[in-house]
Every structure is written in C-alpha cells, then in structure tokens.
Chains A and B, each alone.
Chain A
Amino acid sequence: MEDNKDIIQNNDVPERQPLDRKTVIKLNRDIGSKNQLKGWLYLAPALLLLIIFSFYPLINTFRMAFLNGYNGLAIVGGESFNLGVENFKTVIGYVDFKQCLKNTILLCVVTVPISTILALLIAVALNSIKPLQKVFQTVFFLPYVTNSIAIGMVFNAMFTRVGLGDLIQTQGIINNILGLFGIGPFNFVNVGSSWGANMFVVCTYIVWNAIPFKILVLLGGLQNVNKQYYEAAKIDGTSKVRTFFRITIPLVSPMLAYVIITSFIGGFKEYSSIVGIFGEGMGPGGNGQMNTIVGYVYNMLPKSNLGNASAASLILFAIILVVTAINGYVSKKKVHY
C-alpha cells in the first residue's frame, strides 16, 4: 500500500501553474478569437452602411467643430480655416446657449425621475389586475403611437388663452378646470408667460409623452418575473412594500436601467415637444426662452454656421456621454442581470 502511494506521488506530471484571474480571462479570450474573422465578415454589410451614414458624419462633425469659425457658405467661397477651439468658445459665450443648456438639464432632471416612477407604479398596477388589463395597456400606449408635434399642439390648446383683454373667449381647459377650484387663471403659454409656467407645461407634456414606452418596457419586465418569487415572499410573510423594493425592483432593474438611460438621452435631445407647444420660436411669442441644445443647433444651421452647430452638438454629445457613463456606473452596482 505505502509503496503504491509513493509511485503515484513521484509521477513526473508537470505541476500546473496557479492561474491568476488575468491569465484565465486571457486564455478564455484566446480560444474565442478564432471565430473573430468570421464574425467581422458577417458584420461587413452593416458596417459599410454604418461607415457611410454614421461614422463619416460623426468625424466630419468633429472636423467642423475644431475649425475656427467654420462656415458652410464661406468654404464654398474658397475660404480656409485654422484648427482651434474658437467655435466652442463662441458657443459657450452665448447667453442663448446658456439658457438652452439650463433648460435642457432642468427638463431631464425633472422629467426622467417623475416619468420613470409613474411608469413603474402604473406598470405594477397593470400587472396586478386581470380584467381589462389589455384595454388599459392599449389606452396607456396610445400617446406613443401619436405624433409628438400633434400632441404638443393639443397641449398648447389645453393651456392657451384665446382672445385678448376684454375679448377673452376662453382661458383654456386647464385654467377652466383650475377655476372650478378657485385657482388661477394662469398665463401658461401665451405671450408674456413666465419661464416657470412654460417649464411646467413642457415638463407635464414630456412626462405624459414618455410614460407609455416605459410602461411597455417595465410591464414586459414584470411579466417575465417568475411568480414563484412572489409566492415565496408571501409564504415568508414579506410585506407589500418590502416585496416591491427588495424583489420587484431588483428583478426589473435591467429594464429600469434601460428606461432611465434612454430617457436621459432622449431628454437631452428634447426639441420636438417644445416645437409642438410653442412653434419654432421655442417660447411664447417666439422669444426662445424654452430653447434647448438641439434647438440651438438647428438655429445655427440656416445661418450656415456649421462650426458653431457642430461645437454645440459635441458639447451635447459630451454631456450625454458623461451622464450615460454615470448611469452605467450606477447600474453596474445596482442592477442585477
């Protein structure tokens, strides 16, 4: 017996090196790399289209942004430009742009949390009812399939006052309703309305407009949650609130993260809703006080001021990048996939 043991132990099997984490990851990757060439081949058609329609414009944007005072008309006239950050300086120096930046950020910060929380609550409620679920689902989804400019115009009609001074015909349905409770009337969107009142209308609109898609995504997530988790929680006497925060939210957290990230991105690109409510003037009477960054970029274009427009786009891009990175960082910690 003893001898046997020795023989086995003295075998000349090379001792395996202890593997650290990095080596293991590298080994696994190397095995995968054989398939990479094929992968690229399959990607080629899509990649070609991407290069033409996405990458080239992207790079061109960078070019225009970093050529001092770049102007579409002037370049046709044969003018040439120096490299530099003049465009950025100009853009940031504009009072208009600061207003746009402030509006955009405020819209995001206010509407994203409100619409997400509302959508989550509605989705949970929808998920827990049986009769009429489909009907409600459709009703809640309607805004999503309706054109946002059209909805904006309806919102405008709801908040706007028709007529002037003594000849006022209606204060708008919202003011009329508020009037029933003895509140108002407010000047929400008409000429001379305050920035705060405008903001209130726009936020209401964005929240209302953003909810359907979020409900759809979150409801999908909720319906995928195995019912047995809830049964297990029930057996263990978990309260409704705790079940919601400790089970429901973690289990739909991938959907939540998706919804939050996309709505931040969408929020920073907000434009059409304001056009819908105020027209291209981006404010009551076209005073531009509700303008956003995208609106600012569009304003630059008719003046052929492509340099400034590109610079503004890149600033927006940088902001979205940072916010998404923060989102990504947070969700890495909080999201369970």
Chain B
Amino acid sequence: MKIVLKNLSKIFPAMGKKNKDVVVAVDNLDIEIPDGKLVGLLGPSGCGKSTTLYMISGLQKPTMGQVFFGDDDVTMLEPEHRGVGLVFQNYALYPHLTVKQNIMFPLQNLKGAEKLSKEEMLRRAQEAADLVQIGDLMERKPNALSGGQQQRVAIARALAKAPRVLLLDEPLSNLDARLRLQTREEIKRIQRETGVTTVFVTHDQEEAMSISDVIVVMKKGVMQQVGEPQKVYDDPGNLFVAQFLGTPPINVFNGKISGGDLYIGDEKIMEVHAEEADRPVTVGIRPEGFIPSEDGVLSGKLRTVEVMGRDCSVVFTNESSQKPSVRAIVDSDIGARFDSTGLVRFNLKRNKVFLFEAETGERIRF
C-alpha cells in the first residue's frame, strides 16, 4: 500500500519560560512512498525523521497536512486502527514477557471477527520468528538476548500482525558495525519476502543507500531530495545532499566561474557554459573523481597515501579546499607510484564534479 504525505508539518510549541521559539520539527513534507518499496528516511540528528515516522504511525498528530494510506486519509485515525508495525529506536520489547509472548502480544489484542485461536497465534508468532531467524529463542526474556537478536524480535513483533506498513526507527543504531551490516541485509531480505511497504529511518547514509529502494534526504525538517539512492548520489540537488551522501565525503572547494570556465585557485579546471555569469561558486568533487596525471588540471601537496587493498586514498592539501585536506580514491596500482613528497596532479571525471551557488548551495548544472 502506498503512503502519501501531503504538506505534512509538525510544530512543537515553545518549551520553557525563556525560550519563545517554536520548534518546526517537520516542515511541509510532500512525499509519495510507493507500494511495497523500502524507503530510507535520511538526515542528520534532529532533522525530524522520528517525528515524521511517528506521524505516519499516528502516535503524533500533524500540526498541518495529511497522511494517506492508499487512498484513505488516515490523518486523524488512531494508531491502533492504522495497521502499522513500528520498531522503536531502542526496540521497546516488553521486558517481563518472553520472546514468544512479546511477538504474540499484538495478536492477542485482536478482537471480534479478527480474533485468532491460540494455535493460530502460536503459528503466526513462530512464522514471524522463523522469518527473522530467532525461532529457537522463543522462551527467552529480552534481557537474555543480544542487541541484534532483540532487534529481530522487535521486527518479528511488528511483522506478526501482518501490518500494512512497517516503520523502523534507526533500528540498527545500537548494533556493532558487523552486526549492523548483517541485520541491514536481513531487513532488506525480510522486506522483499513480505513485500510490506517499509519506511526506514537512519542518519547513516551508507545504511540508507545500501538497502533502500528510494531515499528521502531531510534537513531541519525540510525535504531536500527524493530518489533512488544511486540517482541521488550521482545527481545531488544541492550542496547539503552532496555532502551528506558518500563515504568518504565529497571534497568541497571554493572556486569561481570566469569567462565560462571554472577555476579552483588559479587553476582552470574545466569549461562550463559560456553564458554562465562570472561569480564565486562552490565546487564539489567526489573522491573517486580524481585521476592521477602528470599534466592534471588540479594540483595539491601530498600528505599521505593510505593503501587499503583494492584501492588507496591519496590525501593532499589545496589552498581552496574548505577542509584542511582533500581525499582522492584511486586504484592502488596507480596510487602506489606516489612518493611522500612534492606535488600531485589530477585530472577530474566530469560527472564527479558538481557546482553549487556559493550563497545558497543550489546546484548549478553545466
């Protein structure tokens, strides 16, 4: 079932006596989440991701705007009637109940025509548990489980009642790096197997990129860009999105357009449209956009070369860079030729170079 958010806003009243400012947690959000897809809601801490999720679930009511499930306006519907499964940031497993009882809890709430027999409940609970591969932990209490297992129990609990929508709030944030990698693949698998429309909140761009069909990038409550992860990565709409996506992050330079050409420092990097007005611009270059070359257009002073197997990072300094150092990722057989002194020169892949307005950060297409 598709989810549509229409002009959705959440404004919290001012807190405390001294603080008169209201908090605009979510600002005029317009998103359509296609049926059966896994959507990653991505943004830095405090940008309104959880708030958006809570509004979809119904735990919080929007200040303005509407939420649609399919064609139904559910804005004013209580959470229990929405048929959503929610996995909380810290799982919220009932500590006094066993895994089995936790998973069965939502099923036992069903009333009237939906009421299930004991056997049916057990069967569905076991099915959900098997799906997330915790079928053999059914009699344990949550505090006797590892973080990853708890997370899977939380997902099983959300899935057992066959929700129309599955909402996950940073479910991997408590896990170690390895488990995180493993469980995010599992989430993807579970989502594929069940085909349930899923919204996945995270502030980890890599996580979002790797499992989402569509990502939504947010900043301070405002949606920045929506699209397939690769498309957003390859074609960021503004500097924020470009900086937020990608590890290592994009390298940002102060540059200028002069006579239709792009300059970083004194070096002419490439031609842009002749009709572009002369002005300062911000230049973003992806780490993988550098090609080492004797007669390269961009130069820098070599700092270090970090060899990481398949490829290596060349770290160098450039006066116009906004950060102290610039990081380029090149094949290790090319990188190995750098020694630790002197100048390095690079040619640039045109599709890895992005221009933004210096003031607003808006993308300049060329």
Interface residues of B in 77-110 (CB under 8 A from A): 79-81, 84-86, 88, 90, 92, 94-97, 105-106, 108-110
Q: State the CA gap A236–B88 with chains docked (Å).
A: 13
Q: How many residues of A contact B (CB 8 A)?
A: 19
Interface contact B79-A234, CB-CB below 8 Å: yes
Q: How many residues of B contact A (CB 8 A)?
A: 22
Interface contact A236-B105, CB-CB below 8 Å: yes
Contacts of A236 in B (CB 8 A): 80, 105-106, 109, 161
Interface contact B80-A336, CB-CB below 8 Å: no
- Name B58's closest neighbour in chain A (CB-CB): A235
Q: State the CA gap A336–B101 with chains docked (Å).
A: 14
Contact of B90 among A228, A242, A250 (CB under 8 A): A228
Q: How far is the CB of A12 from chain B (nearest CB, A)?
A: 33
In the complex, whether B179 has a CB less than 8 A from a CB of chain A is no
Interface contact B79-A238, CB-CB below 8 Å: no
In the complex, whether B198 has a CB less than 8 A from a CB of chain A is no
Interface contact B105-A226, CB-CB below 8 Å: no
Query: Chain A 232-248, CB within 8 Å of chain B: the 1/0 string?
Result: 11111111001000110
A235-B79, A237-B80 known; A228-B92 Cβ under 8 A = yes
Interface contact B79-A336, CB-CB below 8 Å: no
Interface contact A235-B95, CB-CB below 8 Å: no
- Name B83's closest neighbour in chain A (CB-CB): A237
Contact of B95 among A231, A233, A336 (CB under 8 A): A336
Q: How far is the CB of A273 from chain B (nearest CB, A)?
A: 35
A235-B59, A237-B81 known; A229-B106 Cβ under 8 A = no
Contacts of A253 in B (CB 8 A): 96
In the complex, whether B57 has a CB less than 8 A from a CB of chain A is yes
- Name B110's closest neighbour in chain A (CB-CB): A237
Query: Chain B 156-178, CB within 8 Å of chain A: the 1/0 string?
Result: 00000100000000000000000
Interface contact B57-A235, CB-CB below 8 Å: yes
Interface residues of B in 33-75 (CB under 8 A from A): 57-59
Q: How far is the CB of B155 from chain A (nearest CB, A)?
A: 13
Interface contact B57-A237, CB-CB below 8 Å: no
- Name B90's closest neighbour in chain A (CB-CB): A228
Contacts of A250 in B (CB 8 A): 94, 96-97
In the complex, whether A251 has a CB less than 8 A from a CB of chain B is yes
Q: State the CA gap A45–B85 with chains docked (Å).
A: 56
Contact of B86 among A232, A237, A246, A247 (CB under 8 A): A232
Contacts of A232 in B (CB 8 A): 86, 88, 92, 94
Interface residues of A in 7-65 (CB under 8 A from B): none
Interface residues of B in 205-250 (CB under 8 A from A): none
Q: State the CA gap A250–B63 with chains docked (Å).
A: 35
Contact of A234 among B59, B94, B95, B110 (CB under 8 A): B59
Interface contact B105-A231, CB-CB below 8 Å: no
Q: How far is the CB of A187 from chain B (nearest CB, A)?
A: 49
Contacts of A247 in B (CB 8 A): 94
Interface centre among A231, A236, A242, A253 (most CB of B within 10 A): A236
Interface contact A336-B96, CB-CB below 8 Å: yes
- Name A228's closest neighbour in chain B (CB-CB): B92
Q: State the CA gap A226–B142 with chains docked (Å).
A: 15
Contacts of A239 in B (CB 8 A): 109
Q: State the CA gap A235–B60 with chains docked (Å).
A: 11
Interface residues of A in 125-167 (CB under 8 A from B): none
Q: State the CA gap A52–B96 with chains docked (Å).
A: 42
- Name B86's closest neighbour in chain A (CB-CB): A235
Q: State the CA gap A247–B57 with chains docked (Å).
A: 21
Q: State the CA gap A163–B347 with chains docked (Å).
A: 110
Interface contact A237-B88, CB-CB below 8 Å: no
Interface centre among A231, A232, A246 (most CB of B within 10 A): A232
Q: State the CA gap A253–B96 with chains docked (Å).
A: 10
Q: State the CA gap A235–B105 with chains docked (Å).
A: 11
Q: State the CA gap A229–B97 with chains docked (Å).
A: 12
- Name B84's closest neighbour in chain A (CB-CB): A235
Interface residues of A in 264-309 (CB under 8 A from B): none
Query: Chain A 213-232, CB within 8 Å of chain B: the 1/0 string?
Result: 00000000000001011011
Q: How far is the CB of A140 from chain B (nearest CB, A)?
A: 27
Interface contact B161-A231, CB-CB below 8 Å: no
Contacts of A336 in B (CB 8 A): 95-96
Interface contact B92-A242, CB-CB below 8 Å: no
- Name B89's closest neighbour in chain A (CB-CB): A228
A231-B59, A232-B86 known; A237-B106 Cβ under 8 A = yes
- Name B105's closest neighbour in chain A (CB-CB): A236
Q: How far is the CB of A98 from chain B (nearest CB, A)?
A: 42
Given A234-B79, A234-B80, A236-B80, 8 new contacts (CB under 8 A): A231-B88, A232-B92, A232-B94, A235-B86, A236-B109, A237-B81, A237-B106, A251-B95
Name 14 A/B residue pairs within 8 A (Cβ), A-sorted.
A226-B92, A228-B88, A233-B105, A235-B58, A235-B59, A235-B84, A235-B86, A236-B105, A236-B161, A237-B80, A237-B106, A239-B109, A251-B95, A336-B95
Instruction: Report B's interface with A, CB cutoff 8 A.
Output: 57-59, 79-81, 84-86, 88, 90, 92, 94-97, 105-106, 108-110, 161
Closest 4 CB pairs of A and B: A237-B80, A336-B96, A236-B106, A228-B92
